[in-house]
Amino acid sequence: MSDKNSKPLDELEEDDENYITLTDDEGNDVSFEIIGTVEHDSRFFAVLIPFDEDDDGVVILEIISAEEPEYDDFITVDDEQLLEAVFQKFKESYDGEYEFE
């Protein structure tokens, strides 16, 4: 997924409502709410939930600092072990705020 409407990382952490629209590999716009950020091994990740009511899963994307000073990029994470580690850290950090299965 590529970033369509990126925001600076500090805005992601401080806004009460964090919404982003990304463009998938097929050119479709997909909207998400950013429900949290996680630092893992000196890397930053955003945990997102899609607005699509049919999809109840989370999406985890790595946040990459852009060369432009004010905006970050979001990239897909393909490493399943890394995704699991980030999600576990997210669950520990946000315990009580969300229900996890």
How confident is the model over 22-64, as pLDDT tens digits?
888 899 888 899 999 999 999 999 999 988 767 678 999 999 9
In terms of phi and psi (left: phi > 0; alpha: psi -120 to 50; beta: otherwise), the region of 41 is left
Strand order in the sheet with 2-3: 2-3, 19-23, 29-40, 43-50, 59-65, 72-76
HSE-up of residue 9 (Cα within 13 Å, Cβ side)? 18
Please say if the pLDDT value at position 4 is more than 50: no
State the pLDDT at residue 14. 44
pLDDT digits (tens, 9 = 90+) for 9-18: 444 444 446 8
Please say if the pLDDT value at position 82 is more than 50: yes
Distance of CA 5 to the CA centre of its chain: 13
| pTM value > 0.85 | no
Surface-to-core class of residue 37, CB atoms within 10 Å of its CB (0-12 exposed, 13-18 middle, 19+ buried) = middle
